[in-house]
Every structure is written in C-alpha cells, then in structure tokens.
Amino acid sequence: MKDLRPIQAVLSGILCALMLSSCKEAEQVQADHAAAMEKLAALRAEYDGLEQKLVDLRKAVPPSSSPMDSAQRMTLSLQRELDILDQQIVTVTRDYEEAQAALDKLRAETEEVKKHLQN
C-alpha cells in the first residue's frame, strides 16, 4: 500500500489555488456588477429628472406624437420667421430714417422761414 498523503496534499493545494482564483474573479465580477448598478441608478435618476423637466417643456411645442420632431419643425418655422423679420427690420429702419430725414429737413426750412419772419 503506497502512501497517498503527498498526492492528497498536492491535490488539496491545487484545489485551494483554483478556488482562490475563482473567488478573486468572482470578487471582480461582483465589484463590476456593483459599479454597473450604481451607474444604472445614476442614469435612471438623470432620466427621471429629464422626464420631469420635459413634461413642462413639451407643453410649449405643438402637440405631436414625437415632441422632438415637433420642436425641430417649430425651430425651422421660427427660423424662417426670424429671417423675414430681419429683412423687415432693414426695410422699416430705412423707412424710418427717410421719414426722419424728411422731418429734419422740413424742420430746418420752417425754422428758417420763422427766423425770417421774426426779423
């Protein structure tokens, strides 16, 4: 009968090393899992916050199945309106300047006639 103690010791050692390595790997996975859950919770909180803000913001855009499309359509339409208004400002400013220049000229002429009258 051979002595099996050395084999037993070696086997035990190998098994212990294997288990230790598995435990370390499991620990790493657990840490990753915890970090992932933390990130998920942060994302959920951000999502909830955004949803809450969007509730009020969505009321400001025309109702649509996609508020994003609605906002983009609104932006395009407003941009066109803004371009038209910018052109109008140029025209109206010129109109005002002309009217003001005519008034200033007439004012000067009237003043001159009045001065003449006083003399």
In the complex, which residues of this chain contact another protein (CB under 8 A)? 4-5, 7-8, 11-12, 15, 18-19, 22-23, 25-26, 29-30, 32-33, 36-37, 39-40, 43-44, 46-47, 50-51, 53-54, 57-58, 60-61, 67-68, 71-72, 74-75, 78-79, 81-82, 85-86, 88-89, 92-93, 95-96, 99-100, 102-103, 106-107, 109-110, 113-114, 116-117
Q: How far is CA 53 from the centre of its chain?
A: 12
Q: Name residue, tokens 């037993």.
A: 8
Task: Please give the Cα distance from 65 to 57 (Å, whole number).
Answer: 15
Residues contacting residue 58 through CB under 8 Å, at least 6 positions apart: 67
